[in-house]
């Protein structure tokens, strides 16, 4: 079994119930599934659902105070985890912070809104 990386934890995990999914926008897809994110960064995902489908969901507060959701819909045809930001957030700024906090190379982003 591969050991988890020891990344400095600059983010805080928050309860998904406090995060209204209807007021958020998709900003990116990162090429890691929830299990990868749990193993590599200690992010815990919970089972949830919305009008589209069942999903695995984690909600994080970044060092800037931005709140993001990481969601993997069960019927998604492509691999990866969607990144969702608050409706008024600047997608490029939030994505840049996520890449910095998790030390993700550009190739780890398989789609972005920008």
Provide the percentage of residues in the chain whose pLDDT is more than 70. 92
Q: What is the pLDDT of residue 3?
A: 44
Sequence spans of domains, the chain: 18-112
Q: What is the pLDDT of residue 4?
A: 47
Instruction: Taking residues 84-90, report their average pLDDT.
Output: 93
pLDDT tens column, 9-41? 789 999 998 887 678 999 999 999 999 999 999
pTM of the full structure: 0.89
DSSP 8-state symbol, 19: S
**Domain 18-112 classification at class level:** alpha beta
- Rounded Cα distance, 31 and 83, in Å: 11
Secondary structure, 3-state, 61-89: ECCCCCEEEEEEECCCCCCCEEEEEECCC
């Amino acid at each position: 079994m591969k050991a988890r990386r020891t990344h400095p934890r600059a983010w805080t995990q928050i309860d998904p119930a406090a995060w209204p999914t209807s007021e958020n926008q998709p900003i990116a897809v990162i090429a890691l599934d929830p299990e990868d994110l749990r193993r590599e960064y200690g992010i815990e995902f919970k089972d949830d659902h919305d009008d589209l489908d069942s999903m695995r969901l984690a909600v994080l507060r970044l060092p800037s105070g931005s709140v993001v959701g990481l969601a993997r819909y069960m019927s998604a045809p492509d691999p990866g985890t969607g990144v969702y930001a608050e409706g008024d957030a600047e997608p490029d700024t939030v994505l840049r912070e996520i890449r910095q906090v998790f030390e993700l190379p550009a190739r780890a982003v398989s789609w972005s809104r920008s």
